[in-house]
Chain A
């Protein structure tokens, strides 16, 4: 029991530290892509601590303050269902993959609640875009997960990870159990959806600075902005970890952390070389090729099972 409490307390801290580290190193990599030096990799920690130490000057109401807290809480609960590589998560049961899909939505909904109270059109447009985008990428993503469930005959993330397990050592590569090789089409679809989930270009309409002046963050400052940054870091960890758990076999810690980082960096480099879609175009994009690919992935899975 005590270990469980320790786990519940430590998991968010580890995830936040990892998420912020990924953002920090990512900023450095993007800077090099853009022929700049970039900030040091620990800059994100400094910024977050500074933001958390600040006083909040103004508030637009109770829900304006509650929104970010609700979002953060949603992300922290989600975290308890995500296996840290091959280590089992705190909470796990049959069907938790469906629950996680619901829990991931709580963070944007919490933000929407807070931002809506602020009544700044920039924030409202940003949240409307965010929810539209969610509608866009969730359909192909859920279908990709559906093919995974079909293939592994389980709806528990921990069991999906176990089904891909092999003996891990530095000399022996057991990656061939990965679902990426078994279900390549679904893995590609999931990675395309991950780009939208992470909010990287071409799907960063939510915070588009030149269009809506950073969208949801525009009214927030101080602690609440810090909470949003932390929430973003948590989300980066949760989403990349979910992808690695499901498609790259989880694996031991020394594999899991670099793998999540690589997934993040891949999406970040795509982010560095592309402009952004209009929100309508993004919706059309996701309901076009990825959706068709996801359906093909399901058919492929059914054929493979036979």
Chain B
């Protein structure tokens, strides 16, 4: 009985907000960290009146694993298996960035073939991440057929990764100086035939989801990020391109094999939910073209230039910022070396920070409860790279 009265007391305290908001419909609503409609280990605290959100507060920090601090305690090569853990759906960008940063600091040359293989891995990871995104977004809108299809198709890409690197998710494949091993026999053939399958599949996705009238009805004009807002909040990646700004790091400051590849930067104009999905859907086809070109142009030769003895590897003093285009936006690493065996400081610029916290809070205000989770998924927030 005593417990019950205490519970009632706490309920009354919860009701204090009610008098503050002066509305009988007011309530506090939590999405996450345990909720089917959340993008990961993340939460949003919502204040709602009836069905309308009057205040949203992002609540990250559930996945803080102190990577940046941890990397300062480890030798350069020991960090290679660590960095890929930073972003779960798209781990390869971390490996590529870390290797690129160290190569820039030490001046280790990367063989041309290794550059191409790295680009192939990055683009395959992009396809896999987009398939993940399509499935997640469709599921938030209630269509559970597409996630089953797209996660199944993603598994074919993971199969290829397994053949190439020995692992499905965390590949630990790229290392300073190149990649760990050459492509297996017939890998490019298998990849090519998979790309042809995916081309057919994306047409099926169109029929069930991207061209569906109900999808357009739910998403057009929802959660609009206009151009000014996108620049003000320094949004990058597909979310920026959906607002009509053609900024793509692969095109503007090309890295790895991208200078040799012809591709278009996809943009949409409205900046709403629908544009954000369609930008990624059109980029998916563009990425297939990029991969086909990479397979055609793949040079022969070595895949790895040796780095010094790792136990005694002193990287030259200096600092460098490297960036690549990930599916979520600009992914960057700022590495400072004081000339010892261990990095002095590594800062990771996670792409989701910009649109995952401040912009999300702004976008969710005034929305309906039914649109909260879809908007979160449409922004493609990856909580691990917010927390690091």
**Interface positions of A (Cβ within 8 A of B):** 33-36, 119, 121, 125, 201-202, 204-205, 208-214, 272-281
User: B140 an interface residue at 8 Å Cβ cutoff?
Assistant: yes
Q: Report if A274-B37 is in contact (Cβ < 8 Å); known contacts: A36-B148, A205-B370, A210-B142.
A: no
Contact with A along B345-388 (1 / 0, CB 8 A): 00000000000000000000000111111100000000000000
Q: Is the CB of B369 within 8 A of A34?
A: no
Q: Report if A212-B212 is in contact (Cβ < 8 Å); known contacts: A275-B141, A275-B218, A278-B218.
A: no
Report the minimal beta-carbon distance from B131 to chain A, rounded to whole angstroms.
14
CA distance A204 to B143 in the complex (A): 11
Q: Is the CB of B371 within 8 A of A278?
A: yes
User: B320 an interface residue at 8 Å Cβ cutoff?
Assistant: no
Contact of A272 (CB < 8 Å), options: B145, B152, B368: B145
Q: Which 3 A-B pairs have the closest CB atoms?
A: A276-B142, A210-B37, A34-B148
User: B311 an interface residue at 8 Å Cβ cutoff?
Assistant: no
Q: Is the CB of A273 within 8 A of B370?
A: no
Q: Is the CB of A274 within 8 A of B214?
A: yes
Q: What are 5 A-B interface contacts by the 8 Å CB criterion? A: A125-B369, A202-B214, A209-B37, A275-B218, A278-B370
Residues of A within 8 A of B212 (CB): 274-275
User: B208 an interface residue at 8 Å Cβ cutoff?
Assistant: yes
Q: Is the CB of A278 within 8 A of B368?
A: yes
Report the minimal beta-carbon distance from B159 to chain A, rounded to whole angstroms.
16
User: B27 an interface residue at 8 Å Cβ cutoff?
Assistant: yes
Contact of A211 (CB < 8 Å), options: B37, B149, B152: B37
Q: Is the CB of B217 within 8 A of A281?
A: yes
Residues of B within 8 A of A279 (CB): 51, 370
Contact of A210 (CB < 8 Å), options: B11, B140, B208, B214: B140
Give the size category of B's interface with A: 20 to 34
Interface centre among B138, B140, B215 (most CB of A within 10 A): B140
Residues of A within 8 A of B148 (CB): 34-36
Report the minimal beta-carbon distance from A52 to chain B, rounded to whole angstroms.
25
**Interface positions of B (Cβ within 8 A of A):** 11, 27-29, 35-37, 51, 138-145, 148-149, 152, 208-209, 212, 214-215, 217-218, 368-374
Residues of B within 8 A of A125 (CB): 51, 369
Q: 8 additional contacts, CB 8 Å, given A272-B144, A275-B143? A: A34-B145, A201-B142, A204-B142, A210-B36, A211-B369, A211-B370, A273-B143, A274-B212
Residues of A within 8 A of B209 (CB): 275
Closest A residue to B153 by CB, please name it: A35
Closest A residue to B46 by CB, please name it: A121
Residues of B within 8 A of A274 (CB): 142-143, 212, 214
Q: Report if A211-B218 is in contact (Cβ < 8 Å); known contacts: A34-B145, A121-B29, A275-B143.
A: no
Residues of A within 8 A of B29 (CB): 121
Closest A residue to B29 by CB, please name it: A121
Report the minimal beta-carbon distance from A92 to chain B, rounded to whole angstroms.
39
Residues of A within 8 A of B372 (CB): 211
Closest B residue to A208 by CB, please name it: B142
Residues of B within 8 A of A280 (CB): 368
Report the minimal beta-carbon distance from A290 to chain B, rounded to whole angstroms.
16
CA distance A34 to B150 in the complex (A): 10
Q: Report if A277-B214 is in contact (Cβ < 8 Å); known contacts: A36-B148, A125-B369, A211-B373.
A: yes
Q: Is the CB of A212 within 8 A of B369?
A: yes
Residues of B within 8 A of A211 (CB): 37, 140, 369-370, 372-373
Q: Is the CB of A213 within 8 A of B36?
A: yes
CA distance A34 to B139 in the complex (A): 13
